[in-house]
Structure 1
Amino acid sequence: MFCAAAAVLSVAACNSGQSGQENRDNPTSGSIRISVDETYKPLIESEIRVFESLYPKTKIVAEYKPEADCFKDLFNDSSRLIIVTRDLKEDEKEFFKKAKIRPNSLQLATDAIALIVNNANPDSILTMDQVRAIMAGKSEKPWQIVFDNQNSSTVRFIQDSINKGAPLPANTMAAKTNPEVIDYVTKNKNAIGVIGVNWISDTADSTVIEFTQRVTTVKLRGDGYSEFVKPYQFYIGMKSYPLTRGMFYILKEPYQGLGSGFATFLGAQEGQLLIGKYKLYPARLNIVFREATLK
């Protein structure tokens, strides 16, 4: 699996042989700034800690922001590497092609969107028809929809995948960050929060444990399924949990630099195991689920 992931190291290396650039970063030393979709903050902070411990001469400064801003950074050369929830669109690929730039991208995992409600809210089991009605503002119950940011990937996902391009209800609000979404839902019985699943998935993290105790994660029944499920890793991987999406890196680096090194790490075994720890479904590992009998 590492060999497949390591192919990124060969991308756009036409300038790597230039002389007089001894201070330039390379895959295992130097510093770099990257832009990361803020829904991945807990996971990527963990990935960076492990990577920097393996390669102590490296320093990765991650800026966590709405997905739209990550793409702006890629296009204006503020970041060579971004970690986001979608691949490049065809018009974006064409833009780079005309500029004679060949970005490299790879899906790292299957991710999920989690819906959370107040612990006192009895409506924590929903069909997708009910979710669509809520997100269109047509539910009989007066739900208050809460996102992390108006330009976030979760807003785009709901608008594209659930609302099919239709706008969200007028009373939809943005709470600025994922922890603030959780805090708002904790205080408002009719609120339904939309967050990235890795914010509530690491059961070994005290902050995550505290989050999950304060809110209830909604069980969903996908179209064509009979079972209501939470965004657990098995259901994400099998796509029986309906609100799934990809996790990608996009790298635009004109030489074999630290961006290439970190991207390779994310797609190799160490990085993929960390992705699994945060209950996303790793895209570059062979995972086998086995039935077990609990006594």
Structure 2
Amino acid sequence: MTIWVDPANKNLIEALTDVYVMKFPEVKFKFVYEPENIILQNLINSKATAAFINKPLSDQQTKYIYQQTTIEPRSTLLAYDAVIFIAGKESSIESVSIDDLKNSLLANDNRFVFDDGNSGNFNTVTNILKIEIQQGQKVRALENSQQVIEFVTQSTGTVGIIGMNVISEKDNPEVKEILSKIKVLPIKDSANVLREPTVENILEFNYPFFKGVYFIVSEPGFGIGSGFSRFAGSQQGQLIVGREGLQPNFLYDRQVKINNNPL
């Protein structure tokens, strides 16, 4: 199965599929990394039949695909991620206010730089701010999160916008290297309260720029996509989500039996 993935979700999809392939070694996955808007267009045109992005198909998009293929695509929410704002360690910037972010993007003053102008992170920010970037209006964006990380370490007056999943697995040596060069900025909300992008704040919807992670599959019957979707939503799959430093969508009760008899 070929899965189209927004690069911000790369770590999570690879962690989930690595374990799935260990359980079912006859299954093979191929990933195509493209920005979210391009993936959505490919889903609508039936070029893509499986995707890992940060928004579900709308009812209108789902109906259109069904009319063209007689297959009804399914959008499954598996996790909650977040858009985070980063600066270089040497930067004097310590936080980002929602009003300042909104005004800056509308004024196009180039202080904020996205990982991609068509990414799920860009869509999340503009949707939450309720702003529309007019056609022809420029937004500073690079090709991926790694370029954004390198850029903010060299340009101390700028703030990078990437996905939390890029740095959420704190035990990963590559993540440790990234965190040695950047700092994650809290968001100052309308009440002037600083909100950190922590799993707890995402769970309680206190951090404003949270986003869902959806697996979308369009296939007849119960195929690889359906099997993977069921696994990713199972207790084992959701434990992997938690291990990646994200908030699982499905919370499973943990039952503990205590034996009070003396040994």
With the shorter chain as reference, the TM-score category is 0.7 to 0.9
Q: C-alpha separation between the residues in 2 aligned to 1:64 and 1:108?
A: 19
Alignment partner, residue 120 of structure 2: 153
Structure 1 residues 241 and 287, CA gap change in structure 2 (3 angstroms): farther
TM-score normalised by the chain length of structure 2:
0.88
Amino acid in structure 2 at the alignment position of 1:247: V
Structure 1 residues 184 and 136, CA gap change in structure 2 (3 angstroms): same
CA deviation profile, 1:21-69 (whole Å, cap 9, x unmatched): xxxxxxxxxxx11111111001111111111111111111111210112
2:39 pairs with one of 70, 77, 80: 70
* Residue correspondence of structure 1 range 48-127 to structure 2 within 5 A: 48-99=17-68, 100-127=70-97
When the two structures are aligned, how many residues end up with a matched partner? 253
User: How far 1:181 moved relative to its partner?
Assistant: 0.9
Would you say the 8 A contact 1:82–1:249 is kept in 2? yes
User: How far 1:105 moved relative to its partner?
Assistant: 1.4
Alignment partner, residue 156 of structure 2: 189
Would you say the 8 A contact 1:159–1:167 is kept in 2? no
Q: C-alpha separation between the residues in 2 aligned to 1:62 and 1:147?
A: 22
Amino acid in structure 1 at the alignment position of 2:127: D
User: How far 1:92 moved relative to its partner?
Assistant: 0.7
Q: Work out whether 1:235 is the aligned partner of 2:201.
A: yes
Q: C-alpha separation between the residues in 1 aligned to 2:72 and 2:171?
A: 39
- Structure 2: gaps of 5 or more residues: 255-263
CA deviation profile, 1:154-176 (whole Å, cap 9, x unmatched): 22222222252244996632220
* Residue correspondence of structure 1 range 1-295 to structure 2 within 5 A: 32-99=1-68, 100-137=70-107, 143-167=110-134, 172-224=139-191, 227-286=193-252
Structure 1 stretches of 4+ with a deviation exceeding 4 A read 167-171
Would you say the 8 A contact 1:132–1:163 is kept in 2? no
Amino acid in structure 2 at the alignment position of 1:151: N
Q: C-alpha separation between the residues in 2 aligned to 1:221 and 1:238?
A: 16
Alignment partner, residue 3 of structure 1: none
TM-score normalised by the chain length of structure 1:
0.79
Q: C-alpha separation between the residues in 2 aligned to 1:171 and 1:153?
A: 18
Amino acid in structure 1 at the alignment position of 2:77: Q
Would you say the 8 A contact 1:104–1:251 is kept in 2? yes
